[in-house]
Amino acid sequence: MAQHLNLTSLVIFLPLLFSILSPVESSLARHNSHNSQSMTYIESSCNGTLYPDLCIRCLAKFSKSTIDGPQHLAHVALSVSLSRALHTKGYLLKVANELRAINKEYPKVQDCANLITDSVDQLSQAIKELKRLNQFSSTINDKVLWHISNVDTWVSTALTDASSCARSFPGHRMSKRVATIKVKALNVAEVTSNALALFHRYALRYQQAAAKKP
């Protein structure tokens, strides 16, 4: 009798279990599909940058969310660049404070800190300006092109600042601290270069449309 009840319970329970698991499995499948599509889009977009491997590594963690086109990807890339610049700025200010008045490397480190601080400001402005472009949708007018020009100028300036910081320390013979600064500055320059390339990809459709206007 007990065995019969167990079999009956199993017959009732299994369909219920499958009815619970099926939507979950379906949801997971859709989620994995979105991740795969986002990752494919990130990889294809990064192939157009100067540092594609770095680009993919930096943006791969964002594949878990849906990347909504080139504008969204450019915004994410600029956010990554700003994050790296902020981290490097903090490190440089800390080192500059430690070296103040006791080390001949201090002036270069302080100059580098000023350059990266400017990079942070430029990238912050660029991100805000890119957000303003959202309100124009697909509209093409002089104001849109002006916003695009602003973003391009600010990100290009941030790239120049980070590159100048890295070039402040030429050669290969240097202290471990200076070598760390150079690596961090180069990283900011490279991720910013990638972000600029992705922004250009986004802006291209506006510029092409503007060129076709009579």
- Return the structure tokens found at 140: 């093409």
Instruction: Answer yes or no: are the C-beta atoms of 56 and 190 closer than 8 Å.
Output: no
Give me the DSSP letters along the chain.
Answer: -HHHHHHHHHHHHHHHHHHHHHHHHHHHHHHHHHHHHHHHHHHHHHTTSS-HHHHHHHHGGGGGS---HHHHHHHHHHHHHHHHHHHHHHHHHHHHHHHTTT-TTHHHHHHHHHHHHHHHHHHHHHHHHHHHGGGGTT--SHHHHHHHHHHHHHHHHHHHHHHHHHHTS-SS---HHHHHHHHHHHHHHHHHHHHHHHHHHHHHHHHHHHHH--
CA distance 118 to 105: 20
Q: What is the pTM of this model?
A: 0.81
201: its two tokens? 């990809």
pLDDT of residue 173: 79
Cβ atoms within 10 Å of 117's Cβ, excluding its own:
17
pLDDT in tens, the chain (214 residues): 544 445 455 445 445 544 555 454 444 334 444 567 889 999 999 999 999 999 999 999 888 777 778 999 999 999 999 999 999 999 999 999 888 766 778 889 999 999 999 999 999 999 999 998 877 666 677 888 899 999 999 999 999 999 999 999 887 777 888 899 999 999 999 999 999 999 999 998 877 766 666 6
Contact 109, 92 (CB under 8 A): yes
d(CA 191, CA 119): 12
Between the two ends of the chain, the Cα-to-Cα distance in Å is: 88
